[in-house]
Every structure is written in structure tokens, then in C-alpha cells.
Amino acid sequence: MSLAFCSDLRRPLPAAGDAFDEKCVLGGALVGNPSASRSPWPWPVQAVLAPVLGDTRDSVQERWTADGECQAGEFKGIAFRRSRDILFGVIELDEHAFSAAGETRSLQAATEEAYRRIFQLLAAQDLPHLWRVWNYLADINRDTNGLERYRQFNIGRYDAFVAFDRAATGNVPAACTIGLRQGRLSVAFIAGRLAARPVENPRQVSAYYYPAEYGPRSPTFSRAVLLTLPGQASLFISGTASIVGHRTVHPGDVAGQSREALANVEALIVEAKRLSPAAAFTQAGLAYRVYVRHAADYPVVRDVLAERLGEAAEVLFVQADICRHDLLVEIEAIASTALGSC
């Protein structure tokens, strides 16, 4: 059992309908041009409708592959594919369909419903462990019904975890929650039979222990998770920003925020290697997705990352909003490394 990530940033992906893909691809993402968002591929694809920065292409495709045959399925609006003990799924919900949900805010209700369906699917597939989640929603920093939409999202996510007797602290998945200009609530996820090990950053307060000033419910995610499969270790680093303790640092300074976010990524790598000494993770060896709030800041962010990671690093830059008004950049990353002989 193995899990691999591939992006057409470095090499072209096989064309749609390729027999190898049909058998081995779990799912993926298409980042960029809305006109390319309808997937012609026979696996679930999360459409991230946000501008790609510094690339001449309209969109970039990413995919997850397994070492065994994948079986497709659908469950309550979730498109998924499974290969033995690993599952990738995507669900999109129109929050306006939840606008009449009593006193509950529509985004909060849609988020809770999305996560409830995910947990129901994982129970039905007997793959209980949620490893990594990608959340996208419109207008993340806007106030509606008396509360910022990101905070509404956090309430809905938390309530679903509690409703299914899942821990809301400690053993929770890696995740990012990013704002787009428009579109439905979109959640993609990877889950499996084995438990991943949460990794926290000693430079930061764990997000699920944030004080009440950040909202009625704290965010339900780990800073990273470490997954150990036979012969392989994978590291999923959540969306990581310029936060020390629980405070934003370097407000208004995109270069300073970029360096601080990279320092937090490095702290997570060090902690992951402490937990798994045989895992040879390096900062330059990770694959990155970097969210930049203002397109005009892209050259600064690019140069900071190139200085730290080198020109050959695999980095996808995307213009998108971030969970706090004062955050200008957010970095997520993934890596896999061999453990002994496979």
C-alpha cells in the first residue's frame, strides 16, 4: 500500500482515459481557470477556481495515485475512489440550499452537513481515519449574520466532529481553509484504515486551543500529520502562515510573513523527523501550494521562497484569500520518503 503525489508543474500528467490512470489514480485537483473546471477524467477532482500566479497556463492539474486498482463510488454527493486501504473524495455543496436551516447560518449548516456525510462515508467504507482535508469557500473574511464566514465554517466543522464522537483536539487531520472569490463550499479529503500521527509546531499554539478571541469554536485541524505506510512516510503540512503563538506577526510585511511561514514549515519538518527519525524530509524536497492574497505581492513571495528553497523546488502559487484579514500568504506542503526497502 502506497500513496504518491504528482503535479504537472514538473512533468506532464498522462492524458485523460489513460489505462494506467484509470486503474491507479485516486483523485486530484485542478487549480486555475474556471472554464477548465469540469473534469474529463474518471476520478474525483476538486476544482480550485483561483488564479495561478507566475505560470503561462490557465490551470495546473495535481493528482494522487495508489499502487493498486482503484474503485469509484458515490455517496450522498461525495465522489470518491478507493484503493484498498486509502480513499480520496470530493464533495461540493451550495450553501444557499441551507439558508432556511432554522436559526443556523447557511455556511455553518452546509459545512456541518459536508463533514457529516464524509464521516458517514468513512464509516461505511471502514476507513475511519481522516488524514488531510482541503476546504474552499467564498468570501472567507466577510461578515454575514453577525459573524465572519471563516468562524461560521469552524462552528460547522467542530459540530460535525462532536456529533460523530470524534476528537476535536489532538488527533485531528491536517487541513487548510482558503477563501475564493465565488463558488460553492468544496471539501476534498484523503482518509485510510491506518491512523496518522498528528504533528504540532512548538512555535505555535495548537489551532484547536486558540483562545475565544478567534471565534466561538477553534479550528479543528493539526498543524501537520505524519503517515507511515509500509516502506513509506508521508508528511501532510496544513496551511501555515505567519503566526507565532496564536498571534499574527509581521502585519503588512509580505516578505516577513513569507519567511515566518517558512520558519513554521521548517519547525514542523524538524518535529516530524523527531517522531520518525528514518524519514528524510527536507524543506527543499517538499511540494508546495502557496496562497498569496494580493497578486502584486507574488514576486516578493516567489523570491523569498526561491532564496530559501532553491529555484528547483516544486511550488504552485495561487491568488486566494486567507483565514485572517491580516495574513498575506499561506503555505501548505506535502512530501513522501522511503523508509528502508520497499
Give the model confidence (pLDDT) of 306-315 as tens digits.
999 998 899 9
Asked if residue 17 has pLDDT above 60, the reply is no
Report pLDDT digits (tens) over 50-84.
999 998 888 899 999 998 889 999 999 999 999 99
Which is catalytic among the residues 95, 148, 330, 332?
330
Predicted pLDDT at 241 = 98
Report pLDDT digits (tens) over 206-238.
999 999 999 999 999 999 999 998 889 999 999
Q: pLDDT category, 302, cuts 50, 70, 90?
A: very high
**Percent of the chain residues past pLDDT 70, beyond the cut:** 91
Count of positions (residues) in the chain:
342
Predicted pLDDT at 99 = 80
pTM of the shown model: 0.94
Question: What is the C-alpha separation between 195 and 130, in angstroms, rounded?
Answer: 8
Asked if residue 32 has pLDDT above 80, the reply is yes
CB atoms within 10 A of CB 273: 18
Question: What is the C-alpha separation between 137 and 173, in angstroms, rounded?
Answer: 19
Report pLDDT digits (tens) over 140-173.
999 998 999 999 999 999 999 999 999 999 999 9
| Host H or E run for residue 318 | strand 314-319
Domains along the chain?
3-338 (3.30.1330.40)
Q: Concatenate the DSSP letters of all residues of 197-254 into one string.
A: EEE--TTB--GGG--GGG-SS----BSEEEEEETTEEEEEEEEE-SEEBTEE-STT-H
Task: Enumerate the β-bridge partners of residue 236.
Answer: 225, 334
Mean pLDDT across the chain: 91
Predicted pLDDT at 342 = 24
Q: Please indicate whether residue 62 is annotated as part of the active site.
A: no
Give the least confident one: 13-27, 99-113, 156-170, 183-197: 13-27
* Dihedrals phi, psi of 108, to nearest 5 degrees: -60, -45
Predicted pLDDT at 340 = 46
Q: Give the distance, in angstroms, between the CA of residue 103 and the centroid of all CA atoms in the same chain.
A: 30
Q: Which three cell numbers stand for residue 205?
A: 499554539
Whether 297 and 218 have beta carbons less than 8 Å apart is answered as no
Report pLDDT digits (tens) over 185-206.
999 999 999 999 999 999 999 9
Report pLDDT digits (tens) over 250-292.
999 999 999 999 999 999 999 999 999 888 899 999 999 999 9
| Host H or E run for residue 149 | helix 149-163
Predicted pLDDT at 21 = 57
Predicted pLDDT at 103 = 56
**Helix/strand/coil for 119:** helix
